[in-house]
């Protein structure tokens, strides 16, 4: 299959034929990759089983890993949910369109192909003009996972989608680099106490404040609790895995630099190629084959935005080992560390 990359101008989506062509492909049951504010998605008509099946095939995704349905109007939640919980309305008013996915009980219109066999469904209204326009113009509710091959970092640019999906899907809409760079926060509203299944840009504190109730985090995604199984099937896979062995080094800044430089020398002595994930402040202190900065330590938005691109770059450079500083920043730090810890297979070196 020939993959077309169609450039779009997010400010003038009615110009040209790209959006129309993509909407038509979705209506015909085909796959279209498109930008959202978090990461690029791989979309198909959510209510057609055979369209959803194509997503799993293109990604090489296990069929028990459910998809998120993207909508463009709040009322569309009522088309796929058994009932719309009052919490959903409150959260939508505060955070939609935006990087929050809600889990509710599904109704009979939603095929099990889309929900990976589950009786619940994940729903999100993305905060990106092209994504909203595509949903509206196609008339479809769009099931979309991140547009990467299963096990690769999520794509934050159209080029990353092309790396993984070239020849596997007909259309990639190129709306430039995304804004956030980490997947949406997932909150499960079918639990007695609303539960975060995946941390993201919308934090536990923000959710608590809007709901005015307790919000818990799935114990299955907290490293210390890794004996428990995560409730979101996708969180159990070793996602975002770079090809190299990745370890996080935690501790006081000076000690971390010293430890990483020593570890790099040891690996290089074995003839291995080594990379370091640093910050603007520390970059010049490292000696390795590749030293990459995620941005200023104080700028957590930049760290979130660059992380996946950097992991992809290390794959390209074929490094054997990567050492990364740790980023327990105040707001999205939990989400950044969740992704990094998974990429590292929970390897942490304390110094
Ligand atoms: O930001 C995002 O959420 C991006 C963009 C494209 O919207 N999408 C995304 O989709 O990250 P994906 O498929 O890569 O991740 C969806 C996660 C998986 O971990 C999946 O297991 C979980 O959501 N999930 C989906 N439906 C669920 C359900 N009914 N119950 C529990 N977990 C669910
Ligand atoms: Mg994904």
Q: What is the pLDDT of residues 101-126, one digit of tens each?
A: 999 999 999 999 999 999 999 999 99
Which tens digits make up the pLDDT trace of 223-279?
666 678 889 988 876 667 788 999 999 999 999 999 999 999 999 999 999 999 999
User: What per-residue confidence (pLDDT) applies to 345?
Assistant: 86
Nearest-atom number in ligand 1 for the CA of 126 is: 7
Fold of 4-221: DHBP synthase (3.90.870)
Going from N- to C-terminal start, the domains of the chain cover 4-221, 245-350
Angle of CA points 193, 332, 250, to nearest 5°? 110
User: What per-residue confidence (pLDDT) applies to 226?
Assistant: 63
Cα separation, 119 vs 95, whole angstroms? 24
Roughly what angle, to the nearest 10 degrees, separates helices 158-165 and 300-317? 30
For ligand 1, atom 31, the nearest C-alpha belongs to: 232
What whole-number percentage of the chain has pLDDT above 90? 86
Nearest-atom number in ligand 1 for the CA of 235 is: 19
User: What per-residue confidence (pLDDT) applies to 109?
Assistant: 98
pTM for the model stands at 0.96
The CATH number assigned to the domain with range 245-350 reads 3.40.50.11030
Ligand 2 mean position to 250 CA, how many Å? Answer: 27
Tokens 């993201």, located at residue: 200
* pLDDT mean over 156-176: 98
Ligand 1 mean position to 281 CA, how many Å? Answer: 34
Phi and psi at 326, nearest 5°, equal: -105, 150
How does the average pLDDT of the chain come out, rounded?
Answer: 95
């Amino acid at each position: 299959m020939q993959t077309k990359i169609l450039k779009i101008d997010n400010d003038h989506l009615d110009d040209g034929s790209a959006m129309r062509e993509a909407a038509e492909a979705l209506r015909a049951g085909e796959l279209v990759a498109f930008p959202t504010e978090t990461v690029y998605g791989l979309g198909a008509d959510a209510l057609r089983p055979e369209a959803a099946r194509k997503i799993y095939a293109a990604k090489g995704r296990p069929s028990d890993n459910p998809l998120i349905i993207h909508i463009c109007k709040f009322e569309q939640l009522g088309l796929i949910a058994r009932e719309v919980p009052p919490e959903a309305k409150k959260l939508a008013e505060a955070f939609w369109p935006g990087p929050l996915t809600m889990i509710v009980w599904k109704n009979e219109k939603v095929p099990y192909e889309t929900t990976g066999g589950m009786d619940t469904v994940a729903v999100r209204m993305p905060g990106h003009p092209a994504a909203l326009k595509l949903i509206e113009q196609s008339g479809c509710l769009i099931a979309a996972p991140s547009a990467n091959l299963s096990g690769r970092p999520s794509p934050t640019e159209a080029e990353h989608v092309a790396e993984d999906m070239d020849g596997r899907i007909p259309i990639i809409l190129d709306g430039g680099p995304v804004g956030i760079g980490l997947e949406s926060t997932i909150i499960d509203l079918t639990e007695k106490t609303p539960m975060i299944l995946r941390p993201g840009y919308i934090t536990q504190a923000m959710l608590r404040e809007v709901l005015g109730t307790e919000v818990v985090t799935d114990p299955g995604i907290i490293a210390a609790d890794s004996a428990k199984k995560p409730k979101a099937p996708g969180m159990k896979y070793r996602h975002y895995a770079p090809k190299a062995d990745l370890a996080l080094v935690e501790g006081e800044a000076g000690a971390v630099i010293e430890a990483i430089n020593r570890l790099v020398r040891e690996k290089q002595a074995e003839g291995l190629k080594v990379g370091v994930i640093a910050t603007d402040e520390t970059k010049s202190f490292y000696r390795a084959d590749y030293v990459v900065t995620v941005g200023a330590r104080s700028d957590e938005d930049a760290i979130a935005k660059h992380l996946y691109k950097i992991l992809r770059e290390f794959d390209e450079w074929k490094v054997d080992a990567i050492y990364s500083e740790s980023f327990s920043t105040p707001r999205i730090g939990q989400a950044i560390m969740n992704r990094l810890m998974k990429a590292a297979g929970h390897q942490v070196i304390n110094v």
